[in-house]
Amino acid sequence: MFVYTIRRLIQTIPVLIGVTLVVFLMMHLIPGDPAQIMAGERADAETVELTRDRLGLNDPLPVQYGSFVWNAVQGDLGNSIRSGRDVSAEIVPRFWVTVELAVYSTILSVFMGLIAGIISATRRNSISDMVIMVVALFGLSMPNFWLGLMLIQYIGLTVGWIPVSGWGGAAVILPVITLGTAGAAIIARMTRSSMLEVIHQDYIRTARAKGVKERYVIYKHALRNALIPVVTVVGLQFGVLLGGAVLTETVFAINGLGRFVVEGINQRDFPIVQGSVLVLALLFVLVNFIVDISYRLLNKRIELD
Amino acid sequence: MTTTNSIIKVDDLQTSFFTHKGEIKAVDGVHFDVPAGKTLGLVGESGSGKSITSLSIMRLIESPGKIKGGSITFNGEDLLAKSEAEMRDIRGNQISMIFQEPMTSLNPVYTIGDQIAEAYQIHQGKTKKEALQKAVDMLELVGIPSPKARVKAYPHELSGGMRQRAMIAIALACNPQLLVADEPTTALDVTIQAQILRLINRLQDELGMSMLLITHDLGVVAETCDYVAVMYAGKIVEYADVNTLFSNPKHPYTVGLLKSLPRHDIDQEELEVIKGMVPRPDELPEGCRFAPRCPFATDLCRERLPDLEDLGEGNQVRCWIHTDQWNGPEVNVKDDYRSAEST
């Protein structure tokens, strides 16, 4: 297991190189000259050239990439073009807000999804199965910004005590529901089909033939096997969630990383976009690493190679 | 079937599957009993209803299947009248079952030890530690080398034969009175088959349990069973002790099965086969169910289903030939079978 963890860690290195490369090139592929933007629209050619030099944009690309990575490793993501403030310092508090939002939403998705999926599978073709599957279909098809707006309109403003913007305390409720619903729906459907497949396996019949209580047959013998594909979905879903966080944070005016990216893009503040995207990508890589490890813990058949 | 001391008595068992196409009678009025301490072989081709019979005894028939009628008397009590909780106390404790596919019958995410210990823990109310010790003992009993290490192994780390031994260990952990073995050796290599059969025979003697052995393999029957019930299309067609069945079979189907075995004592050009297939349970013929494949069938056979008649000495057969009503030519089922087939 230790060897596996180390090996899996080493495997993330090419991914990290890819991520930094893409983020770095982003700045050069986006139309518009960063030096021109930074120096201001009415700056003369000399000022632009000076700015270009100061930003290191005249160096060869590999050198620029090298210094970008070197700085990033040391936690220096540059300064905002607009405000001149340190990007890393700006990102840290927003990063934690987004992590909180994503983690709460994932917990909600997994919790709701598993319960709904298990009920559906064990009561296949019953009324509750049909209701759950129809609700899941809605949850899956609903764009989350729209769900957010509906929740603000019909729950936030009706109930009164749930804040409809910001973060912290009761204000987390609506954004977490907004962001977690699609995941819950996907996990519910995945759990259902996975459980249905597992329930008809021979070893489930063996468990029943041993005199195991039906509850344990489902939660001990079936669920652990059924979880294996579900865990993969949870990991992938986390990436979708980070994308959704951009919209959700915008709808609920949450000062998180997603909204920060949107602001950065609107203001063509490249260091902010670059830094935020890099951090989000690293988070995604980390989560998938954790998923792979837990996958191995669940399923002993996966060998180290 | 009038054995004085039987551990389990199945009487007029009917198990059907209710599909959108209507009722499918998989088991249709089956009678047999397993004498205490003895082995009854339930023999038939695929689709004859023998596995459904064994699952009915365990009350493990899943929807849309349903036990429609009859009774299963175990230790003087009707299993069909028991609640689900009472059945759970019996399963794995007084009646255990082993299955055909050792590769898929063990849970891949738990260790062998955990899976053996589970049954023991449930039924004997022991601690996990005691149960795991029991698991080691059981692995030793079924002849798995270095049981202390293997108790921590996962199923995928064992070969097919070892897994079937582990299955047997699970089934026997609580010292059951009856073992239901559904094709326990079919999925194994021939050399392993012999080992497993010998193991089952030995453990049966040591533990003094009774056994219902479901198989399509008459070789296995000859080696293991005391009595044999031959099943065809959801009904028992012949019941006899194993010597009588092999030396003096009465039903044309039994004769056909025996003739299709390869023999080394006579020179055979080719093996006899029973022509055709077992009818699907939703397309059963009207009269005797074997009539379409039977070389002796008359109009009587095709029109009316014979009863299971007692021929004395515990032999029973479901065939018109052995009744007063037989109106066809005089036949000796055993000797004439081949010539009748080739005409």
Residue B341 has pLDDT above 70, yes or no: no
A42 touches B at CB < 8 Å = no
Which DSSP symbol is given to B94? T
- Whether B153 contacts chain A with CB within 8 A: no
DSSP class of residue B320 equals: G
The more confident residue out of A206 and B190 is A206
Contact with chain B for residue A210, Cβ under 8 A: yes
pLDDT at B101: 87
- Interface contact A208-B170, CB threshold 8 A: no
Q: Does A206 touch chain B (CB under 8 A)?
A: yes
In the prediction, which pLDDT does B342 show?
A: 46
Query: Is B167 within 8 Å of chain A by CB?
Result: yes
Q: Which residue of B has its CA nearest to A123?
A: B63
Domains of chain A with CATH codes: 2-73 (no CATH), 95-298 (1.10.3720.10)
Distance CA A176, CA A168 (A): 11
Any CB–CB contact under 8 A between A219 and chain B? no
Report the gap between the CA of B94 and the closest CA in chain A (Å): 10
**Quick check: B116 and B138 in contact, CB under 8 A?**
yes
**Which residues from B are below 8 Å from A205, CB to CB?**
60, 99, 105
Query: What is the pLDDT, as a whole number, of residue A59?
Result: 82
- Find the closest chain B residue to A227 by CA distance: B109
Give me the phi and psi of B284, to 5 degrees please: -75, 140
Confidence of residue A150 (pLDDT cuts 50, 70, 90): very high
Please give the mean pLDDT across all residues of chain B: 88
Q: Do A206 and B106 touch (CB under 8 A)?
A: yes
Residues of B in contact with A224 (CB under 8 A): 109-110
B88 touches chain A (CB under 8 A): yes
Chain A partners within 8 Å of B107 (Cβ): 203, 206-207, 221, 225
- Per-residue pLDDT tens for B139-176? 999 999 999 999 999 999 999 889 999 999 999 999 99
Interface test with A, best of B58, B91, B96, B105 (most A CBs within 10 A): B105
In chain B, helix, strand, coil percent, each to 5?
35, 25, 40
Residues 6+ apart with CB under 8 A from B29: B12, B13, B14, B70, B234, B235
Of A53-67, B148-162, B165-179, B188-202, which gets the smallest average pLDDT? A53-67
pLDDT digits (tens, 9 = 90+) for B232-241: 999 999 999 9
**Are the C-beta atoms of residues A242 and A143 closer than 8 Å to each other?**
no
CB contact under 8 A, B108 and A299: yes
A57/A81 Cα distance (integer angstroms): 15
pLDDT at A122 over 60: yes
Residue-wise pLDDT tens digits, B272-320? 778 778 888 778 888 899 988 888 888 899 988 998 888 887 789 999 9
Nearest CA in chain B to A228: B109
Q: With CA atoms as reference, report the closest residue to A37 among A259, A258, A264.
A: A264
Cα separation of B150 and B157, whole Å? Answer: 9
Which pair of structure tokens corresponds to residue B298?
């008359």
